[in-house]
Amino acid sequence: MAFRIDPEECTACGLCMDVCPTEAISEGDDYFEIDPEKCDSCGTCLDECPNDAIIED
């Protein structure tokens, strides 16, 4: 199961992108996005997000 980023909670800090081992997270226009094809659901980004903006999809 992949994760997704809630745009209302994301502050675009980039911490999730820095720790993603599969490079599934990229910077969007106003917030970061997770590519479900690349995400292996490891949860590393989930632990790193200070705003709890990453949720299971």
Percent of residues, the chain, with pLDDT higher than 90: 86
What is the spatial distance between Cα 27 and Cα 25, in angstroms, rounded to a whole number? 7
**CATH number corresponding to 3-56:** 3.30.70.20
In one-letter notation, the amino acid at residue 3 is F
pLDDT (0 to 100) of residue 28: 87
Residues 6+ apart with CB under 8 A from 20: 44, 45
Sequence ranges of the domains in the chain: 3-56
Q: Model-level pTM?
A: 0.88
C-beta of residue 32 within 8 angstroms of C-beta of residue 14: yes
pLDDT of 2 higher than 90:
no
Query: 33 pairs with which residues across the strands?
Result: 26
DSSP 38: T
Query: 55 pairs with which residues across the strands?
Result: 4
The mean of the pLDDT values for the chain is 93
Q: In the predicted model, what is the mean pLDDT of residues 4-32?
A: 94
